[in-house]
Amino acid sequence: MAMEVTRLKVNFKTLEEFKKFKEYGMQELSMLEDLQDNMIEDDYESPFYGIYYGDKLVARMSLYKRDAKYDLYFDPPQDYLELWKLEVLPEYRRKNYGKTLVEFAKQFGLPIKTNPRLNSHEFWRKMGFQPVTYDMERDLGENPLVWYPEGVGEQKSSSKS
């Protein structure tokens, strides 16, 4: 089965589909308000990518490029991707939708940082992600996992520098 990753357009239909996902929060509410107030146009490009099964959105993630100047995770410091809200609707799990999205993110060739749910660490390990050395000032309550492309390593003692 061919799975195609699509960059999601922000419109009322997409935002309605987002409500089926567990991690519907302030980001989505803010997009909805902006649409309602005509602050953004219909079909505005969002940071969300997804996979449709027929016309139904069954998996999604948010992906955002952070500038090297904010990089506290990688050595050498560089532009990297933050990945969040990776989620597959319950009936569509164990069919590689999540894997397809993560592989899509890796294609950009940039290091990736995510802060996944605790019970998903086994999935992330299989995807080649690994924990960083915990640093309270930087990580607070997060459990950051990262993926290093070739030639990239862990930034040490970031918050102390």
What's the CA dihedral at 112, 113, 117, 123 to 10 degrees?
Answer: 30
Interface stretch with a copy of itself, choices 11-19, 50-58, 102-110, 136-144 (CB under 8 A): 136-144
Tokens of 106: 């890796």
Does position 120 bind a copy of itself by CB under 8 A? no
Closest to 55 (Cα-Cα) out of 6, 107, 102, 22: 6
CA distance 41 to 10: 8
Give phi and psi for 119, each to the nearest 5: -80, 5
Closest to 103 (Cα-Cα) out of 152, 53, 59: 59
Tokens of 23: 């991690």
Nearer to a copy of itself, 1 or 118 (CB): 118
Does position 154 bind a copy of itself by CB under 8 A? no
Q: Which amino acid is present at 49?
A: Y
Interface stretch with a copy of itself, choices 3-11, 37-45, 92-100, 126-134 (CB under 8 A): 126-134
Q: Residue 54 Cβ, how far from a copy of itself at the closest point, in Å?
A: 27
What's the CA dihedral at 124, 129, 132, 136 to 10 degrees?
Answer: -40
By CB under 8 A, the residues from 3 to 62 that bind a copy of itself are 22-27, 29-30, 47, 62
Does position 142 bind a copy of itself by CB under 8 A? yes
Nearer to a copy of itself, 25 or 153 (CB): 25
Nearer to a copy of itself, 23 or 95 (CB): 23
| Interacting residues toward a copy of itself by CB under 8 A | 22-27, 29-30, 47, 62, 64, 82, 84-85, 115, 118, 131, 133-134, 136-137, 139-144
